[in-house]
């Protein structure tokens, strides 16, 4: 048994750093196996709660698809209005109650740090499906999986992050995770949406390099991964600020002409207009496959957290 | 002359604790952190006293009260230069520099308005980190960093 030394059983996953580099790689290896055989009844007899205190499409559905494909049962709610939260129940009470009915809780919540708090009071493991602007570790793992799958390795990758690098939690988590490898970072954003210095510190502390740009064309021939992000309206206190930058970074097919052969375009989705639809047919577009990979990674996480693999 | 005046301002203790070398600007923070505004002991304090080392300083004297290390170390966040002096029968029996704690629990607020600790009854918890000589608090929950400028006490 190659993986015997990794034990994720009953451990919550709140932040990508909750797993060591070896454990993260272990999850990617397991996900590879689930990709070959995604339907196995290993969750038979298990109940998984999916508590979505704020709306989500991809994350919730890919978790629910993963649970269903593995034969587990799902309970939960898809927005806080349909739960007793609307009656003023605290997060602690909701989580403690639901823990009585389930073996594992997948949760998304609008407040930063909510999942960590839930993991301390629940009594069953929590998988964080996004806590406010803080962490989204399952997205991070599926991004790592997609990079490794398309490039063959996570080492010696040149990656460009494009768009909202200030508020984009997927960019923050992925930067931290990739700082464990020999990565070169190319950061493309408007000045007001630059990567926070606290996140850049991870790159510096690892002895790695980053370069900052404000023109997307400047990185096209340099990178192996082009990671596009949505500039989210809800992150701006001032709507005028959003209007100023919303159309700054739009990817078009012609821009990909001089990119490397192995280059792939990733995006955590949903997109608004930052990737033109004509790019979808380009063999370098990988974002829908990336979303599909989310199911395999989440299958790996569910199975390992429940100690079933 | 100066010493005489200081003595007049701050009474000598028979038994108790003196916290010296507190930055003058942090004196009232230190009083609040140690909850000295809520005790029944006699408490004396002075601020903007002249200090050879620091220019001006604050000092606190608490009669008949001795602090546990973890209690006193809390003020390291606002007064890293402070010294703790314990007095018994007018004699100094212990004099130590305060130490910065590794973890700070439930007396500092997280500066992040979206942190769960600012919305529900969740006790705050921070890891103390030093960045370029400056003390910072990394929230155990939201993972954001509260600095000295954004620090508020509960």
Q: What is the 3-state secondary structure (H, E, C) of chain B?
A: CHHHHHHHHCCCCCCEEEEEEEEHHHHHHHHHHCCHHHCCCCEEEEEEEEECCCEEEEEEEEECCCCCHHHHHHHHHCCCCCEEEEEECCEEEEEEECCCCCEEECCEECCCCCEHHHCCCCCCEEEEEEECCEEEEEECCCCCEECHHHCEEC
Q: State the pLDDT at residue A5.
A: 72
3-state SS, residue A208: coil
Size of interface A-B (CB pairs under 8 A): 49
- Whether A16-135+292-305 shares its CATH topology with A137-287 is answered yes
Helix (H) or strand (E) holding A104: strand A104-109
Nearest-Cα distance to chain A for B145, in Å, is: 8
Of B114, B121, B145, the CB nearest to A112: B114
Name the nearest CA neighbour of B144 among A7, A86, A74, B118.
B118
Is residue A56 within 8 Å of A32, Cβ to Cβ?
no
Residues 6+ apart with CB under 8 A from A262: A150, A151, A224
Sign of CA dihedral A198, A60, A148, A305: positive
Q: Which domains can be identified in chain B, with CATH numbers?
A: 2-97 (3.30.70.140), 103-153 (2.30.30.20)
Give chain A positions within 8 Å (CB) of B121.
Answer: 90
Contacts of A238 by beta carbon, 8 Å cutoff, 6+ apart:
none
Kindly report, residue by residue over A108-156, the tens digit of the pLDDT.
999 999 999 999 999 999 999 999 989 999 999 999 999 999 999 999 9
**What is the pLDDT at residue A281?**
98
How many separate helices (H) and strands (E) can be counted in chain A? 9, 9
How far apart are the C-alpha atoms of A297 and B114, rounded to whole Å? 29
- Give how far B107 is from chain A: nearest CA, Å: 17
Instruction: For residue A21, give every residue at least 6 positions away whose Cβ sits within 8 Å of its Cβ, in sequence order, or none.
Output: A180
Q: Report whether A282 contacts A267 (CB < 8 A).
A: no
List residues of chain B with CB under 8 Å from any CB of chain A: 110, 112, 114-117, 119-122, 139-145
- A133–B143 C-beta distance less than 8 A: no
Q: What is the pLDDT of residue A227?
A: 98
First to last CA, chain B: 41
pLDDT at site A178 = 98
Digitized pLDDT (tens) for each residue of chain B, 154 residues in all: 455 555 444 568 899 999 999 999 899 989 988 999 999 999 999 999 998 888 899 999 999 999 988 788 888 888 988 999 999 999 999 999 998 899 999 889 999 999 999 999 999 999 999 877 788 999 999 999 999 888 888 7
Overall size of chain B counted in residues: 154
Asked if A162 and A282 touch (Cβ cutoff 8 Å), the reply is no
Chain B closest CA to A299's CA: distance in Å?
26
For B114, the closest of A117, A133, A198 (CB atoms) is A133
CB contact under 8 A, A117 and B139: no
User: Which segments of chain A have a pLDDT < 70?
Assistant: 1-4, 235
**Of residues B116, B144, B145, nearest to A114 (C-beta):** B116
- Cα–Cα distance measured from residue B107 to residue B103, given in angstroms and rounded to the nearest whole number: 11
CATH class of A16-135+292-305: alpha beta
Query: Are B142 and A113 an interchain contact pair (Cβ–Cβ within 8 Å)?
Result: yes
Enter the ipTM. Answer: 0.90
Q: Which two tokens stand for residue B15?
A: 């038994």
Tokens matching residue A112: 């930063």
Helix (H) or strand (E) holding A61: helix A58-69
The verdict on a CB contact (< 8 Å) between A112 and B119 is: no
**pLDDT at A1 (0 to 100):** 41
CB contact under 8 A, A111 and B144: no
pTM confidence score: 0.89
CB contact under 8 A, B114 and A117: no
Tell if the CB–CB gap between A132 and B114 is shorter than 8 Å.
Answer: yes
pLDDT of residue A242: 83
Task: Determine the pLDDT at residue B11.
Answer: 66
Domains of chain A, residue spans: 16-135+292-305, 137-287
Residue A9: DSSP 8-state: T
* Cβ neighbours, 10 Å, residue A261: 7
| Fold that domain A137-287 belongs to in CATH | Rossmann fold (3.40.50)
Taking CA–CA distances from A114, the nearest residue in chain B reads B116
Element (H, E) at A47: strand A47-52
Q: Which residues of A touch B (CB under 8 A)?
A: 15, 90-92, 110-114, 116-117, 131-135, 198
CA distances from A230 to A130, A219, A222 (A): 16, 18, 22
pLDDT computed for residue A307 by the predictor: 95
- The residues, any chain, with a CB within 8 Å of residue A140's CB and separated by 6 or more, are A16, A170, A173, A174, A177
Give residue A169's pLDDT: 87
């Amino acid at each position: 048994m190659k993986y015997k030394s990794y034990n994720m059983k009953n451990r919550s996953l709140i932040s990508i750093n909750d797993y060591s580099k070896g454990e993260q790689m272990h999850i990617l290896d397991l996900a590879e196996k689930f990709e070959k055989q995604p339907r196995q009844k290993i969750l038979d007899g298990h109940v998984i709660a999916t508590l979505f205190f704020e709306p989500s499409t991809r994350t919730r559905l890919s978790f629910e698809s993963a649970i269903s494909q593995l034969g587990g049962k799902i309970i939960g709610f898809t927005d806080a209005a349909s739960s007793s939260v609307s009656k003023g129940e605290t997060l602690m009470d909701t989580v403690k109650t639901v823990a009585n009915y389930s073996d594992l809780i997948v949760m998304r919540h609008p407040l930063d740090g909510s999942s960590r708090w839930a993991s301390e009071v629940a009594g069953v493991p929590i998988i964080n499906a996004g806590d406010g602007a803080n962490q989204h570790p399952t997205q991070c793992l599926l991004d790592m999986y997609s990079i490794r799958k398309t490039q063959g390795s996570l080492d010696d990758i040149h990656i460009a992050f494009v768009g909202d690098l200030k508020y984009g939690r997927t960019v923050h988590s992925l930067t931290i995770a990739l700082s464990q490898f020999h990565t070169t970072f190319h950061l493309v954003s408007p000045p007001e949406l630059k990567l926070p210095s606290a996140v850049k510190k991870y790159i510096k502390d690892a002895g790695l390099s980053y370069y900052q740009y404000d023109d997307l064309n400047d990185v096209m021939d340099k990178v192996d991964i082009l990671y596009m992000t949505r500039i989210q309206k809800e992150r701006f206190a001032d709507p005028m600020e959003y209007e100023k930058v919303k159309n700054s970074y739009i990817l078009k097919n012609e821009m990909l002409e001089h990119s490397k052969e192995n280059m792939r375009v990733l995006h955590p989705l949903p997109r608004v207009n930052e990737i033109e639809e004509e790019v979808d047919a380009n063999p370098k577009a990988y974002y829908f496959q990336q979303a599909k990979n989310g199911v395999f990674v989440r299958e790996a996480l569910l199975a390992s957290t429940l100690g079933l693999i | 002359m100066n010493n005489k005046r200081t003595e007049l301002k701050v009474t000598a203790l028979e038994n108790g604790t003196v916290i010296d070398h507190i930055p003058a600007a942090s004196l009232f923070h230190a009083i609040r952190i140690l909850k000295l505004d809520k005790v029944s002991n006699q408490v004396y304090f002075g601020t903007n006293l002249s200090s050879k080392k620091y220019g001006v300083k604050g000092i606190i004297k608490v009669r008949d009260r001795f602090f546990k290390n973890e209690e006193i170390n809390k003020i390291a966040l606002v007064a890293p230069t402070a010294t703790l002096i314990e007095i018994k029968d007018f004699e100094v029996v212990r004099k130590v520099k305060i130490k910065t704690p590794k973890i700070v629990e439930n007396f500092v607020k997280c500066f992040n308005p979206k942190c769960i600790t600012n919305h529900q009854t969740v006790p705050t918890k921070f890891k103390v980190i030093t960045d370029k000589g400056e003390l910072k608090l990394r929230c155990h929950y939201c993972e954001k960093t509260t600095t000295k400028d954004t620090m508020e006490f509960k």
